[in-house]
Amino acid sequence: MKKLLVFLRDYKKESVLAPLFKLLEASFELFVPLVMAKIIDVGIGTGDNSYVLKMCGVLILLAFIGLTCAITAQYFAAKAAVGFATKLRHALFEHIQKLSFDELDRVGTSTLITRMTSDINQVQSGVNMVLRLFLRSPFIVFGAMVMAFTIDVKAALIFVVTIPALSVVVFGIMYVSIPLFKKVQSGLDEVLSLTRENLEGSRGIRAFRKEQEETAQFEQKNGLLTGMQLHVGKISALMNPLTYIIINFAIVALIWQGGLRVNVGAITQGEVVALVNYMSQILVELVKLANLIVTVNKSVACGNRIAQVLEMESSMEDGTLEIGENFSEQEMQGKKSVVSFEDVAMCYQGSKEDAITHISFTAGAGETIGIIGGTGSGKSTVVNLIPRFYDASAGQVCFLGQDVRKYRRKELRDQIGIVPQKAVLFAGTVRENMQWGKKDATDEEIWEALKTAQAEEFIRAKEGGLDANIEQGGRNLSGGQRQRLTIARALVKKPRVLILDDSASALDYATDAALRKAIRQMEGAPTVFIVSQRTSSLMSADRILVLDDGEATGYGTHEELLKNCQTYREIYNSQYGKKEEA
């Protein structure tokens, strides 16, 4: 949590001024009971109306100055807290971008979103509250007691007994409820992630008619959360009655003692009223202090969760090799081996078994390599090693003859166009989405990429063309249209290696074939990896890698594999055997 305080560094002035103005406000507040005492003793006691009016003016002035100080303090506290949260959010976002997929898998997207949003908000309110109250509340409690002693030592002794009793109740309740608040927080986390999962997968849930089961699961988690909240609510609800019982006893004692002291002429009636007011001020501030401690505790818990992510080091070290410096364009064009795998194995963090083992193959410039295999056989794992989404746990993955780990990651990824399984588009125009592939892509380059990706026709038909609007996640497009746009986005930068990870699955056969043909005809045709479950998409590939449970069971052309690879023959027959029978 301490680590996060560096983000307050740019708000030193605000962090000092906010509590200072709060102290000023508190000082003026402490004078109010004394002025009231004067109104009672001098103004009302002697029937001096002009004195009462004058003192009322003083009260209004004190209130006005107090209000000005409070607003100023709030301004500085808010400025520091919001600035702090903004900087923290930026830093966290930047840090997350640097983490490798291994770390992202380990933490999980859902909790990262919670940390980026509600956790940071909680820390922001914690900072705001601390800046305003951490000096003010103890100051008022202490100051009110000192004022009481200046009025009358004997009567003030009641404060000495009452304040510890009040503190025991307030802090005792807090002590019991803080761990419960933490449980409520994690219960809330569970409900939030369940809600997110349900909303994101609502189509799937309806398609499989799982609404009732999902509703039951939601109700169970929500019920647990409600139960915990009620329990902690009941404990917190004890705060007011218990503190008021103590305060009321203290006030009775004060009035009784005050009466005795008035009778002997030690204090005035107005001063008794001032003592009662000081007692009330102390109660209010102790309750505020308890709330502050609860908020600070929650904020520290949230801050620690954020710090955990910030402390997470990327397990993937960046290389230093610059691609442009090492290979001329001519050299690159003539490369026999653009991508090669040498006895590669890969094991996901936390997993006991390798996802792929002993994978070796070579892909030359302009070649198309198909990758086929059953679900979970390791196809995506193989292609994810090329742009270093993950690192191999054994063996070597090479790009242009050098281990991919030697290159600067940015340089390496600039050379590779990736179209992931799930087509993800962002809210904005078609042009903006295409420029994710290449920042300064011209309209001509974009249209060319759209044409190759078989997306030109439907974008031209759209009102606005490249300025047509795409909604978040591309939800105003069909699955096939989304896939074609993500392919075009990868093509805009004219990559040296193009990876299509089952990304043409929503295209009909004719469009799929036209797409493959257009990619082959591209100027400086890239080395293409096509991951697919359809043999028809891979038949024309230069070579096909066949995977079975993480192992390569074949590597060759379609014809060779039909002859020599049983796994491939089985896949082929399962797709074409039925067709022939039909």
Interacting residues toward ligand ATP by CB under 6 A: 105, 348, 351, 355, 373, 375-381
- How far is Cα 419 from Cα 382, in angstroms, rounded to an integer? 14
C-beta of residue 492 within 8 angstroms of C-beta of residue 442: no
- How far is Cα 301 from Cα 303, in angstroms, rounded to an integer? 5
Report the phi/psi class of residue 242: left, alpha or beta, with left for phi > 0 and alpha for psi in -120 to 50: alpha
Report the phi/psi class of residue 47: left, alpha or beta, with left for phi > 0 and alpha for psi in -120 to 50: left
Of the two residues 378 and 417, which places its CB atom closer to ligand ATP in the complex? 378
Least separation in angstroms between CB 424 and ligand ATP: 16
- Cβ within 8 Å of residue 15, ≥6 positions away: 8, 76, 80, 131
Of the two residues 51 and 348, which places its CB atom closer to ligand ATP in the complex? 348
Of the two residues 303 and 550, which places its CB atom closer to ligand ATP in the complex? 550
Least separation in angstroms between CB 543 and ligand ATP: 18
Pick from 318, 393, 389: which is nearest to 103 by CA? Answer: 389
Of the two residues 378 and 495, which places its CB atom closer to ligand ATP in the complex? 378
Of the two residues 243 and 505, which places its CB atom closer to ligand ATP in the complex? 505
- How far is Cα 21 from Cα 24, in angstroms, rounded to an integer? 5
Of the two residues 351 and 469, which places its CB atom closer to ligand ATP in the complex? 351
Least separation in angstroms between CB 381 and ligand ATP: 3
Least separation in angstroms between CB 351 and ligand ATP: 5
DSSP 60-88: HHHHHHHHHHHHHHHHHHHHHHHHHHHHH
Burial of 52 from C-beta contacts in 10 A (0-12 / 13-18 / 19+): middle
Of the two residues 243 and 377, which places its CB atom closer to ligand ATP in the complex? 377
Least separation in angstroms between CB 419 and ligand ATP: 14
Of the two residues 301 and 316, which places its CB atom closer to ligand ATP in the complex? 316
- CA–chain centroid gap for 22, Å, is 33
- How far is Cα 452 from Cα 459, in angstroms, rounded to an integer? 13
Least separation in angstroms between CB 355 and ligand ATP: 3
- Give CA torsion, residues 224, 226, 230, 236, to 10 deg: 100
Least separation in angstroms between CB 232 and ligand ATP: 36
Of the two residues 105 and 403, which places its CB atom closer to ligand ATP in the complex? 105
Least separation in angstroms between CB 167 and ligand ATP: 51
Least separation in angstroms between CB 532 and ligand ATP: 9
Distances (CA, A) of 346 to 98, 392, 533, 567: 21, 5, 21, 22
- How far is Cα 567 from Cα 374, in angstroms, rounded to an integer? 9
Least separation in angstroms between CB 74 and ligand ATP: 46
Least separation in angstroms between CB 575 and ligand ATP: 15
- How far is Cα 545 from Cα 360, in angstroms, rounded to an integer? 10
Of the two residues 130 and 385, which places its CB atom closer to ligand ATP in the complex? 385
Pick from 157, 345, 140: which is nearest to 261 by CA? Answer: 157
**Sign of the alpha-carbon torsion through 89, 92, 98, 99:** negative
Return the DSSP state at 40: I
Identity at 424, one-letter amino acid code: V
